[in-house]
Structure 1
Amino acid sequence: MKIWSLARWVYGIDLHNRWVDTAFGAAAGALELVPECSAATVLLGVTTDRSFSPDDVMSGTDPFADAVQATAERLGLAEGELVVTQFSWLSTERRDLHAVARDNADFAAQGCVVLRGGRTDIRTVVHALREAWSDALDRALRFPQEGPMKILILHRVPYFKIEYYRGISHDRHEVTYFGTDQALATLPPHLRCERVSRPGLRSAFEEARDWLAHRPRDFDRVISVSEYELLDAALLREYLGVPGAPANQVALARDKVLMKQVVEDAGLRVPRFLALPRFLKLDGRVPWYGRTVLKPHRGASSEDVLVFDTPLQAAASITEGRTGISRLDTGSDLADFEVEEFVSGPIRHFDGLVQGGEVLVLSASEYVGTCLQYAQGRPLGSFQLALSEEDRAWVSRALAAVRVEDGSFHLEAIAHRGELVFLEVGNRVGEADVVATIELATGVHLPSYELRALLGERLTGTLPEPPADRRRYGWFVYPGHHLAGREFQGLDGAAAFRDDPSVVAWNELPPGSPLPDHITYQAGETVLAGIVASDTPEGGRRWITDLFASLLVRTRPAALTTSEQVPA
């Protein structure tokens, strides 16, 4: 019960040492003890009978600090009058605890506080603190007790790509979608929810904060599944005091400089890299030679990514403002970019689901082509690989380094000379048909289970068994954004592949469709997107490679009738 510590905080003496001195007859004369404050150790339990482990508490939350703050506010205490001195869980193991404690073994934690001033009595503080702890712990638990919640979704990814209804019961919970009119238009018309439109002129966080300033309300969860708005959701959670990963944690899986730094610190190989201002300060004289990659810190879909033959060439092009990236050539966004050495080798992507830092679902795949080549107008595909125990361990170490602890993940690495070299990671599902191919292979719809994890539902023991047909799946996509301003007229060389029985999905644009003016992997926007099944990784690779070698895409300018052929 921290008796020695309480004496030190209240009376300013080391009672343990005086007790030892007294036992050996070396104690000084009696002291007049004058309390300088009040202090207490409080045993803290759970609100209902339950299985409990400290791992159930979400990362980034501090329920005891929240409870102490709530107690101080309730009792009208000024800042500094009630402070935390110690907190600890009584056990790191999972235990069955009773809401009405039968003995000390039924408590989950203990915390110590010091009370200064004379506004209230320490006994009143202890009573109020225990009540506040119950609410704070329930808010912080990954696995809360049953009950409806108020959920705010920063809505950007089209509804049909996530299928929110599969992971969130809209009949049970109060769900609010906050997004632009274009994003909200993707919601099913009869979905039970509240729709709140935002202008889309500033960040989702800023516009949500302004909306809530005019219409204050509480939420139990704030969720985003869009890579572009993960940080907005984290900032909004901190602003509202809602549990979930904080902004500094989320940034590790968004900022390419930060993520490579922490992964390298964890002992995994990464490409040598520098923030762009530092690279320019060195005039491109860096500890690597050869091809050099320029990319935004927080970009996606390989937009504004360039590869130069040498670091010196990269430095000259950037310094002279001739990269072709307008925001970089004007010199206004230098701090938003980084450079890194080009590491050769096949690029693999690992996709799956994690909860409480434990990887529950994991799939390994290898690209046919690269995302950068896709951005430049070349087709892209991917086929599933066998997964080794070494791969599993590597993925777990990488995710732990960037603190991706809950939700889906998309992790890319380069297979270089027998080892994996970390490339980047996102705390979200992969693009194209990653979600569909993983569901076909494992039975797990990643977005649904990610949403359940973010709501705090325990996933262990709830995942479906893999299908009996253990085939491997690959996806393929042919872009159209590089042909913007033209109409799609058709595909030559596709018939044999379109009618192949191994094809699971084939989504081809109808002739006459306008081609997109932005990078997209979405079926119905790209020239072609689909899924193929195979018995072996080699079979999937060969099928996709043959497809890309055979295709010819016919287009025409919108105002002309003469067709043109573009090799795939």
Structure 2
Amino acid sequence: MTDLAPDLVVLHRIPHSVTPLDDWLAEVADRVTLITSVESEPGYAGRFPRVVGVPDYAEGPGVPQAIDAACRGGEVSTLVHVTEDDVLRAAAARDRYDLPGPRHADVLPWRDKLRMKERVAAAGLPTPAFAGPDADLAAFAAAHGFPLVVKPRFGFSSHGVAVVRDAAALAAEVARRDPADVLVEEFVPGEVHHVDGFARAGETLHVLPSRYLNGCLAFQDGEPLGSVQLDAGDELVPRLAALTRAVVAALPPLDFCPYHLEVFRRPDGELVFCEIACRLGGAHIMESFTRTTGVNPARLWIRDQLGLADGPGTPIAAGERRHGWLLVPPRRGRLLDLRHPGADRPDFLTDFVVKTPVPRDFDGAHGSTDSIIGYVVEGTDSMDVEKNLQACLDLTEHLTRWAA
């Protein structure tokens, strides 16, 4: 490492085992201050001049404080963000220190689900009926009926999302929340799809559509969350692509960045906007995207933010094979053992990720990405991928041992 003051600040809580930033940023590693979680800090220690581990990374005050400590001297030239919990606080810091990149006003409609839906609905796109914290919720419920969905305006990974089925449950759910951070929506039945890719300046550059298995609230019933990439010839692909382009165009234009769009498909086939984010999809969307296109979206985006890659000029195209992923949520109880597949590993399994130490006590899952095992699989087509994911569920029973 050199004696130069690190002028590149990277906010990134994902572990080194998933995102080896020192390899990805080798050309400028001696200029990086990494602000990460205390859990991920050991994996990055010694790889950059400064590695700052922050407790309670997602919600505590440590990240803004660490940003200010790094930036107040005036040497910082670039501030990089990656995950959704950093979108707004990185943008706010760019405002404070006049740094390049998206500002708070640019990204707010991509994070605040109320502002987001207002803009998408104003563009004439199918959107669930919704009401913010100042609305007459009794009148809203009378107009749209139950069930209804209550969620935080600034949440992610389905944390804090609840389905309520009567007026008493609605009142209780709203009463226990921050009144400024409440969004109530019409419940939309049917399948849920997600679309992932990159956009720039309001233009959608790439589209990779997938279908969720079980839906993002499956964890509330102890069911796994997964998704399967759609076949190129699926009739939904052009329809999802058209909706994606319209949604991206309805929101503030940003620099080159990934997006993660979620879309309902009603039983009658109508596509309805759910929500969108200006960041990579969670779970194992990154790995599935990489396997299908040959381009790691996290690596490309981080390097583009630092001027080390030409994101918009990078060719990204899906290959012939399809991929999917599966997250197995914890049960209630004590997980005694979790072993790797070894000789039981199927040929179609491309990634196997253990998400927890053992033994460990669990009280169930609290968000859509809470899990003990993650699988990524490949297949000849979507149907083959879904079959292989089912086989992973069967394999889980042989790899885990829970207390009776």
The aligned counterpart of 1:65 is none
Distance 2:124 2:61 in 1: 35
CA pair 183-217 structure 1, distance change in 2 beyond 3 A: farther
Q: Secondary structure at the match of 1:245?
A: coil
Aligned to 1:527: 372
Contact 2:91/2:107 (<8 A) preserved: yes
Deviation at 1:397, TM superposition (A): 1.4
1:222 aligns with 2:222: no
Q: Which residue does 1:380 correspond to in 2?
A: 225
SS of corresponding position for 1:361: coil
State the shift of 1:476 in Å. 1.1
Structure 2 CA distance for aligned equivalents of residues 510 and 389 of structure 1: 39
| 1:506 equivalent in alignment to 2:352 | yes
Deviation at 1:413, TM superposition (A): 0.3
Supply the distance in 2 between the matched residues of 1:227 and 1:511 (Cα, whole angstroms): 25
Choose which of 212, 226, 229 in structure 2 pairs with 1:367: 212
Report the AA paired with residue 412 of structure 1: E
What amino acid sits opposite 2:315 in the alignment? L
Provide the secondary structure at the position in 1 that maps to 2:158: coil
Change (3 A) 1:172 1:336: closer
Q: Read off the aligned partner of 1:203 and give its amino acid letter.
A: P
Gaps of 5+ in 2: none
**Partner deviation per Cα, 1:266-298 (whole Å, 9 max, x = no partner):** 121111110144143x45544312321111111
In structure 2, the residue matched to 1:159 is 16
Q: 2:227 is aligned with what amino acid?
A: S
Tell me which residue corresponds to 1:471.
321
Answering whether residue 175 of structure 2 is matched by residue 317 of structure 1, we say: no
- Report the Cα offset of residue 190 of structure 1: 4.1
Instruction: Tell me how far apart the structure 2 counterparts of residues 294 and 356 of structure 1 sit (CA, whole Å).
Output: 32
Alpha-carbon distance in 1 for matches of 2:312, 2:12: 27
Classify the secondary structure of the residue corresponding to 2:272: strand
Of structures 1 and 2, the one scoring higher in RCO (CA 8 A, sep 6+) is 2
* Contact residue 149 and residue 174 of structure 1 kept, 8 A: yes
Instruction: Tell me how far apart the structure 1 counterparts of residues 356 and 129 of structure 2 sit (CA, whole Å).
Output: 45
Contact 1:153 1:177 survives alignment (8 Å): yes
Are the counterparts in 2 of residues 505 and 532 from structure 1 also a CA contact under 8 Å? yes
Give the superposition deviation at 1:199. 6.0
Name the stretch that deviates more: 454-463 or 246-255.
454-463
Equivalent residue, structure 2, for 1:462: 314
Match of 1:446, as an amino acid? P
Residue 384 of structure 1, CA deviation: 0.6
Aligned equivalent of 1:109: none
Does the residue aligned with 1:217 lie in a helix, a strand or coil? coil
The answer as to 2:133 corresponding to 1:263 is no
Q: Which shows bigger deviation, 498-507 or 391-400? A: 498-507
Name 2:280's counterpart in structure 1.
429
SS in 1 for 2:144: coil
Establish whether residue 450 from structure 1 lines up as the match of residue 301 from structure 2.
yes
Q: CA deviation at 1:160?
A: 3.4
Partners of 1:348 and 1:413 within 8 A in 2:
yes
SS in 2 for 1:264: helix
- Aligned counterpart for 1:289 among listed residues 142, 145, 149: 145
Give the whole-Å Cα distance in 2 for the aligned partners of 1:383 and 1:234.
Answer: 33
Conserved 8 A contact 1:171-1:192: no
**Closer, same or farther: CA 207–227 of 1 in aligned 2, 3 Å:** same
Query: 2:356 & 2:161 partners in 1: Cα distance?
Result: 31
> Against the structure 1 CA distance between its residues 234 and 461, is the aligned structure 2 distance closer, same or farther, given a 3 Å change threshold?
closer
Report whether the alignment pairs 1:438 with 2:289: yes
TM-score for both structures, normalised by structure 2: 0.84
Secondary structure (helix, strand or coil) at the match of 1:268 reads: coil
CA-to-aligned-CA distance 1:201-238 (integer Å, 9 cap, x gap): 8435641465258x522322112112112100000000
Q: CA deviation at 1:549?
A: 6.9
CA distance in 2, matches of 1:501, 1:202: 42
Distance 1:164 1:463, change over 3 A: farther
* Deviation for aligned residue 1:419: 2.7
Counterpart residue type for residue 243 of structure 2: W
TM-score after normalising by structure 1:
0.61
- Using the TM superposition, name which of 284-293 and 229-238 deviates more: 284-293
Q: 1:149 to 1:510 in 2, by over 3 A?
A: closer
C-alpha separation in 2, matches of 1:358 and 1:168: 27
**What is the SS of the residue equivalent to 2:102?**
coil
> Which runs of structure 2 are paired with 1:519-558 in the superposition (5 Å)?
519=366, 526-545=371-390, 547-548=392-393, 552=397, 555-556=401-402
Q: Answer yes or no: is the 8 Å Cα contact 1:407–1:450 preserved in 2.
A: yes
- Segments of structure 1 that go 5 or more residues without pairing to the other structure are 1-147, 557-562
Which of 373, 393, 400 is equivalent to 2:249? 400
Deviations 1:111-163 (A, max 9, x none): xxxxxxxxxxxxxxxxxxxxxxxxxxxxxxxxxxxxx9931122333333333
State the AA in 2 paired with 1:181.
Answer: V
Question: Is it true that 1:391 corresponds to 2:232 in the alignment?
Answer: no
Listed one character per residue, the Cα deviations across residues 215-263 of structure 1 (whole Å, up to 9, x for unaligned) are 5223221121121121000000000001111112211111111111111
For residues 530 and 473 of structure 1, the distance between their equivalents in structure 2, rounded to whole angstroms, comes to 10
- Look up the SS of the partner of 1:378 in the other structure: coil
- 8 Å CA contact retained: 2:13, 2:40: yes
**1:413 alignment counterpart:** 263
RMSD of aligned alpha carbons: 3.3
2:304 counterpart SS class: helix
Structure 1 residues 256 and 368, CA gap change in structure 2 (3 angstroms): same
Q: What is the alpha-carbon distance in structure 1 between the residues aligned to residue 49 and residue 120 of structure 2? A: 40
